[in-house]
Amino acid sequence: MYNILTLNSISEVGLNKLEPEKFAVSGEMANPDGIILRSYEMKDMELPEKLAGVARAGAGTNNIPIDKCSEKGIVVFNTPGANANAVKELVLTGIFLSSRKIVAGIEWAKELKGKENVDKLVEKGKGQFTGPEIKGKKLGVIGLGAIGVLVANAAVALGMEVYGYDPYLSVDAAWNLSSDVIKAASMEALVAECDYITIHVPLNDNTRGMYNKELFAATKKGTRLLNFARGGLVDTEALKTALADGTITEYITDFPDGEVIELENVICIPHLGASTPESEDNCAEMAAIELKQYLEYGIIKNSVNFPNCDAPYTGKARIALLHKNVSGMVGAITNILSADALNIDNMVNKSKGAWAYTLIDLDTFGGKADKLVEELGKIEGICRVRIVQEA
């Protein structure tokens, strides 16, 4: 029986993936094997002794003490792409909002409340809210990951001519991307060509302020810019100039701040990108499955600190070792196994940055499982040894 502690309320759709005969799930649990959470701040929490995995239902993991978890051999998971459809739908909404002056029109219509002949006033005043159709227009998508690919494909289906830019495009994304999406030679070439631009890259030291003065200078006049990724990707001072000189006619953002909310021709959405019940269900389901697969079989998928490891379980004795990514580790491990006359049926060794994971299937533990945990645990650089399946 595995004990799972939930630190936030987690959708039933996810928790239902944890069979009650194998998993005890509760919001209060003294020494859990696993934790599922959303935004609960774990940084000041003492990590329970038995804790083997932490699954974040969502993408951001800055509420989790990743380094501390790595040192203790605790695998931290997140759920990339689980909210991609929710964001895609809001981006499509944003494209229409940026075109058709819908928000301004609705605001104006509210002012007609209580007036006489509203229908006549509507017909008389509607001309000021004309806006172009998107069919046949050019959309540039910067960042073709889980969200960018869905946006690009949907825009193709809506009749737009879509350009994409992503120098680190993954093989999976390439498989999923419509062949109608045109590859832009550079970000500058993309912004010079397109009528609408949407950003879908993560915010990090390389991308902070990426839409800067130079990129706005390369941007086609009258562009509509959408930012459903992170506020910090667009340089606010440069944006102000671009709005003032007509480079950008409309900026749609899911990340308003005190400065941006004051600007003209900006539509501010209060970070609603992933705010759908389906997205919460998807995140919870993915988090629960990741944790379950790891606890039961040692399989790692979507970890932010340890490498992915998908070794199907074939019914043997399985042991998992979480360790530093240093030379000589595999030799040190196999020496101990051979000294105990234990035969390796299968072994996977993978690394991710400073950390590594070794998953070993043995014909049998030969009654030496506890001794093995003790001996392997003494190897310099090993953070945790876990008997996954006794077989």
Ligand X SMILES: NC(=O)c1ccc[n+]([C@@H]2O[C@H](COP(=O)([O-])OP(=O)(O)OC[C@H]3O[C@@H](n4cnc5c(N)ncnc54)[C@H](O)[C@@H]3O)[C@@H](O)[C@H]2O)c1
- CA torsion angle for 333, 334, 338, 341 (degrees, to 10)? 70
Nearer to ligand X, 68 or 230 (CB): 230
Q: Whole-angstrom distance between the N-terminal and C-terminal Cα of the chain? A: 15
Task: Give the H/E segment covering residue 352.
Answer: strand 344-352
Whether 66 contacts 73, CB under 8 Å: no
Distance CA 279, CA 16 (A): 16
Size of the site for ligand X (CB under 6 A): 33
Q: How far is the CB of 98 from ligand X (least distance, A)?
A: 16
In the sheet where 53-56 sits, what is the strand order?
Answer: 23-26, 2-6, 34-37, 53-56, 75-77
Q: How far is the CB of 88 from ligand X (least distance, A)?
A: 9
Nearer to ligand X, 75 or 274 (CB): 274
Give residue 335's identity as a one-letter amino acid code: N
Q: Does 229 bind ligand X (CB under 6 A)?
A: yes
Which string of x and - marks every residue 26-65 that binds ligand X (by CB under 6 A)?
Answer: ---------------------------------x------
Which string of x and - marks every residue 113-152 that binds ligand X (by CB under 6 A)?
Answer: -----------------------------xxxxxxx----
Q: Does 243 bind ligand X (CB under 6 A)?
A: no
Select the span of 124-132, 174-182, 203-211, 354-362 touching ligand X (CB under 6 A).
Answer: 203-211
Q: Does 80 bind ligand X (CB under 6 A)?
A: yes
Which listed residue (259, 271, 374, 390) is catalytic? 271
Which string of x and - marks every residue 151-180 that binds ligand X (by CB under 6 A)?
Answer: --------------xxxxxx--x-------
Q: Does 224 bind ligand X (CB under 6 A)?
A: no
Nearer to ligand X, 120 or 271 (CB): 271
Q: How far is the CB of 209 from ligand X (least distance, A)?
A: 12
Residue 323 catalytic?
Answer: no
Nearer to ligand X, 169 or 330 (CB): 169
Q: How far is the CB of 380 from ligand X (least distance, A)?
A: 35
Instruction: Determine the length of the chain.
Output: 391
Question: Which residues contact residue 231 at a Cβ distance below 8 angstroms, ignoring those fewer than 6 apart?
Answer: 253, 255, 256, 257, 260
Q: Does 328 bind ligand X (CB under 6 A)?
A: no
**Nearest one of 384, 345, 379, 339 to 362, comparing CA atoms:** 345
Q: How far is the CB of 253 from ligand X (least distance, A)?
A: 9
Task: Give the H/E segment covering residue 360.
Answer: strand 355-362
Whether 376 contacts 340, CB under 8 Å: no
Q: Does 73 bind ligand X (CB under 6 A)?
A: no
Nearer to ligand X, 69 or 190 (CB): 190
Q: Which residue is nearest to ligand X (CB)?
A: 145
Among 8, 93, 176, 207, binds ligand X (CB under 6 A): 207
Per DSSP, the three-state class of 22 is: coil
Taking the mean position of all CA atoms in its chain, how far away is CA 227? Answer: 16
Q: Does 228 bind ligand X (CB under 6 A)?
A: yes
Q: Does 273 bind ligand X (CB under 6 A)?
A: yes
Distance CA 79, CA 61 (A): 10
Which listed residue (230, 278, 296, 375) is catalytic? 230
Question: Which residues contact residue 282 at a Cβ distance below 8 angstroms, ignoring those fewer than 6 apart?
Answer: 79, 82, 83, 85
Which string of x and - marks every residue 181-200 that binds ligand X (by CB under 6 A)?
Answer: -------------------x
Give residue 148's identity as a one-letter amino acid code: G
DSSP assignment string, 160-183? -EEEEE-TT--HHHHHHS-TTSEE
Residue 250 catalytic?
Answer: yes
Residue 224 catalytic?
Answer: no
Distance CA 147, CA 352 (A): 24
Return the bridge partners of 226, or none: 198, 252
- Catalytic residue annotation: 230, 250, 271
Binding site for ligand X (CB under 6 A): 59, 80-81, 83-84, 87, 142-148, 165-170, 173, 200-203, 206-207, 228-230, 254, 271, 273-274
